[in-house]
Amino acid sequence: MTPSRTITALATLVLWVAIVVFSAVGLSGIFFGAWEFSFLPTNLETVSGDRTTFLNQVRFLKALELAAGIMIFSVRREFFERRTINRAVVALLWVTPLARVASLALDGVPHWTFVALLGVELSGATVVALYSIQRFGFSTREPITAA
């Protein structure tokens, strides 16, 4: 099945936005630590426990975010052609907003900007999932090709 031009264009846009955002936010978080918290009504000085350990973990998680951006960039073409690559990227783009949904259920409602990010992330995940289903169907197996 061939996806529509619109869904293909939207999936391409989602991939490029993910590449830029994951890479830029991840890289800036590695070098500037918990800078995102400076925009929120949060005081890192009130974090109980070891602030250094907290920031160490933030930088580690930002490195994973950067790695996700690099990974998506490196497979951006294969996303459209290879089912296994496609499914891996779709999974990545779904697990991140689903973690926010879990946080809503377990921790409560965060700052409104993070609720808005959840909406954006779910929209992007939905677009790539729709592309994926239109392009490859529901199967997770690669088609067998003759050598």
- Lookup: tokens for 133: 């289903």
Q: Read off the pLDDT of residues 128-142 as tens digits, 9 standing for 90 and up.
A: 999 999 999 987 666
pLDDT at 61: 94
| Amino acid found at 62 | K
Is the model's pLDDT at 41 over the cut of 90?
A: no
How many residues are given for the chain? 147
pLDDT at 77: 96
Which is higher by pLDDT, 51 or 8?
8
Locate the domains of the chain by residue range: 5-136
CA–CA separation, 140 and 117 (whole Å): 28
- Lookup: tokens for 5: 């031009």
Contact 19, 72 (CB under 8 A): yes
Task: Indicate the burial class of 11 (C-beta count within 10 angstroms; 0-12, 13-18, 19 or more).
Answer: buried
Q: Read off the pLDDT of residues 76-99 as tens digits, 9 standing for 90 and up.
A: 999 999 999 999 999 999 999 999
